[in-house]
Amino acid sequence: MSAPSRASIRFTVPMLNSLAFVSMFVIGGLSGIYMANSPVDIYIHDTYYIVAHIHYVVFGGSVFAIFGGIFYWFPKMFGRHMNSTLGKITFGSPSSP
């Protein structure tokens, strides 16, 4: 039982993308719970709050999941590693304006 306590997490490109996917999905899910309340939905309908919720869940989550999957599975499928510096740039690009 002492081995997991001394373990260190390596923040590789697929791990960064998967953590970003989970955080985006949680933010979108929490905003979805708020919007499920009908009296609240009447006031926030047709606002940018609805647009932000869709972008967090659909676009933010899917982009990070796709990039993470590509960087994880590419070496397994083709036998060549991708450049991790470019992967970190790719990780930062969806979150930058």
Domain assignment present for residue 48? The answer is: yes
Domain assignment present for residue 2? The answer is: no
Domain assignment present for residue 7? The answer is: no
pLDDT (tens digit per residue) in 11-43 = 899 999 999 999 888 888 888 888 888 888 788
Stretch 79-92: mean pLDDT: 89
Domain assignment present for residue 64? The answer is: yes
Domain assignment present for residue 8? The answer is: no
Burial classification of residue 17, based on how many CB atoms lie within 10 Å of its CB (0-12 exposed, 13-18 middle, 19 or more buried): buried
Report how many domains make up the chain.
Answer: 1
Domain that holds residue 64: 15-92
Instruction: Look at residue 36 in the predicted model and tell me its pLDDT.
Output: 83
The pTM (predicted TM-score) of the whole model is 0.77
**The tokens of 11 are what?**
């923040």
Residue type at 65 in one-letter notation? A
Residue 83 DSSP class:
P
> Can you give 24-42 as a three-state secondary structure string?
HHHHHHHHHHHHCCHHHHH
Domain assignment present for residue 40? The answer is: yes
